[in-house]
Chain A
Amino acid sequence: MGTLDWIVLLGTLLFIVVYGAWKTRGSKDIESYLRGNKDRWWTICLSIMATQASAITFLSTPGQAYEDGMRFIQNYFGLPLAMIVISATMLPVYYRLKVFTAYEFLESRFDLKIRLLAAALFLIQRGLAAGITIYAPAIVLSTILGWSLATTNFFIGSLVIFYTVSGGTRAVSQTQKQQMAVMMGGMIVAGVMVLYLMPKEVSLGQVFQVAGIMGKLNLVDFKFDLAERYTFWSGLLGGFFLAMSYFGTDHSQVARYIGGQSVAQSRVGLLFNGLLKVPMQFIILLIGVLVFVFFQFEKPPLIFNPVAYHKINTSPTLAPVLQNLEKAHANCFESKIQIWREINQEQQNFVLSSENSKIQKLRHLQNQADRIRDQALEMVKIVDPKTRDIDYVFLHFVLHYLPQGLVGLIIAVILSAAMSSTASELNALASTTTIDFYKRSIRQKASPSHYLWVSKVVTFFWGIAAILFATYASLFENLIEAVNILGSLFYGTVLGIFLIAFYLRFVRSFATFWAAIIAELVVLHLFFLRQIIDFLFDKSALPLYIETLANLGYLWYNVIGCVLTIVFAVILQWFYPYEGLKKRRKVL
């Protein structure tokens, strides 16, 4: 990075942080500090989008399109539907009850213990995730910026703590407007630049043809196949399910829209998120595909992660293997570029037909190059198991091909994304700790300034905890995986509770609380089923369905937790119709 890049990077970040803190200074009560300042719809929409867009969105998504094509976009098809359902049903209830947190609503609908159960599950899950939100980009950026992991964590974390503690929810929304502008502006500039850097004889239409030939424009697949990770159906159903739980019950998102000027403003903000999110993901994925096409005409590295490459290259056992793979990879590229030149000379219009034998040869060479890269990535796993090479694809392009100044802008995009999602998480963690635990259970009657002070201290505490967690995350084996699993263990149960609260009015607190506990125990037993089987039973004697359950992917725990909570609650309500009736408060 050159001097100009550093000026752009630090100038952009410091301007956003200082302006955000200055503009939102002087909160005098928790109403404006934790609920926000009656934002208009565009602020709400940008805030929702900025919260969801983490740094990994900008690091991984183009890399994913580079490797796997654009089919990942199908995962977002359920999101607009969820925005409609949340706008129509959940949002008016949150407004009517004037809640500070999503979990406060659960006490109005059920009772205190369900509120505290959901709030505690959120704190565990989101508290750990906040550390990962800092750690995941820091581990990539530290290799690029040449900083230590601890310095990078501290840099991201301390900037976020500064303005989040100072201005609360208002500062989070205010800064997210600018951060989102930087993110979208930076990505559009990157997209234009990659097109500009393509060979002059290749037009935009031909870029798409090349991408299609190489199988990267696989946007929609209507095939119904449970084994396929991304299809239209899994995207529509799974995406809807995930978006409902994330936007409807996770307080880091709920806090973004309950502080709006009115129901109408929040509703439009949510609906605009539904309108814009899919095209935004399309642009980010398209940039990854454009980078792939660019590397059809420009020699790509075998390994994009510079630190892993250096480690392999200096290893006495791995270096010779790497050199052989690099030679084979370079030969593949030379053969490909030769064919592209021949096609270009032969065909004036550069029309690419699938019957053309040269095209088939190109596909074959690309497959060969992919296999060589797969072998190289096996070595990366040995020397640097905590990173994924696709996270470095876009950054490699930015650092090696974009002019000075724009490199700084793109790094600012990634850091802005890290800061915007971390700020929302810290703010939501502070709200939940202060409102659901401190104000509700520890000290119910205190002055507004006291609660404001507590909110600030708690925000600071969560910020420090996130930095420490991010710094020491790498010391533990498979910690990130564990945090992801931990999230999936609880997310389904919480969504189940909220769905009962909103849509099954006849189910009361007794049935819901015990259904959630039983469902959670079932999910935990499923999670530990492998260990239980290995300890207690002879593996060969077990039926196939038990084996299948023991090997279940952890994302399924979301669905199982939610469905079991609802089913158990309905059954318990049937058997104990009058239990807990007296305690129910008719607020709804």
Chain B
Amino acid sequence: MRKGEEEKPPFGKSWKQWYWAVLLVLLIQIGVYYFITQKYKWVP
């Protein structure tokens, strides 16, 4: 086994928290982009 494989993730969090954080950031971005789309949408 390569040295450091069991190394803890940086900033002392678990990997699960990292994955959730990436998902959360994606969801927030989609929310912001959806908000921009709706706010500036042109309805004839």
Could you tell me which A residues sit within 8 Å of B by CB distance? 41, 73, 77, 80-81, 83-84, 87-88, 92, 95-96, 98, 208-209, 211-215, 217-222, 232, 261-265, 267-268, 271, 274-275, 278-279, 282, 354, 359-360, 363
Contacts and interface: CB of A to CB of B under 8 A. Distances in A.
Interface centre among B5, B18, B23, B43 (most CB of A within 10 A): B18
A274 B2 CA distance: 25
Contacts of A262: 2-5, 7
Interface residues of B, number: 28
B2 A212 contact: no
Nearest to A208: B40
Interface of B: 1-5, 7-10, 15, 18-19, 22-23, 25-26, 29-30, 33-34, 36-37, 39-44
19 contacts: A81-B26, A84-B22, A84-B23, A88-B19, A96-B2, A211-B40, A218-B37, A219-B34, A219-B37, A220-B33, A262-B2, A264-B9, A268-B9, A268-B10, A268-B18, A271-B22, A274-B26, A279-B29, A354-B43
Nearest to A211: B40
A263 B4 contact: yes
A265 B2 CA distance: 13
Contacts of A363: 42, 44
Given A77-B30, A96-B2, A278-B29, A220 B10 contact: no
A207 to B, nearest CB: 10
A365 to B, nearest CB: 14
A279 B25 CA distance: 10
Contact of A80 (B8, B26, B36): B26
B19 A217 contact: no
Nearest to B16: A88
Contacts of A208: 36, 40
Contacts of A217: 36-37, 40-41
Contacts of A212: 39-42
Nearest to A222: B34
Nearest to A38: B4
B14 to A, nearest CB: 12
A263 B18 CA distance: 14
Contact of B37 (A41, A80, A95, A220): A220
B23 to A, nearest CB: 7
B5 A41 contact: no
Nearest to A263: B5
B4 A261 contact: yes
A480 B12 CA distance: 47
A570 B34 CA distance: 41
A82 B6 CA distance: 22
A84 B2 contact: no
Nearest to A262: B4
A325 to B, nearest CB: 26
A80 B1 contact: no
A354 B42 contact: yes
Contacts of B5: 92, 95-96, 262-263
Contacts of A263: 2, 4-5, 7
A351 to B, nearest CB: 13
A80 B26 CA distance: 7
Contacts of A274: 22, 26
A265 to B, nearest CB: 8
A51 B15 CA distance: 25
A53 to B, nearest CB: 19
B42 A264 contact: no
Nearest to B33: A219
Contacts of A222: 34
A214 B44 CA distance: 11
B9 A98 contact: no
B42 A275 contact: no
Given A88-B15, A88-B19, A212-B42, A219 B9 contact: no
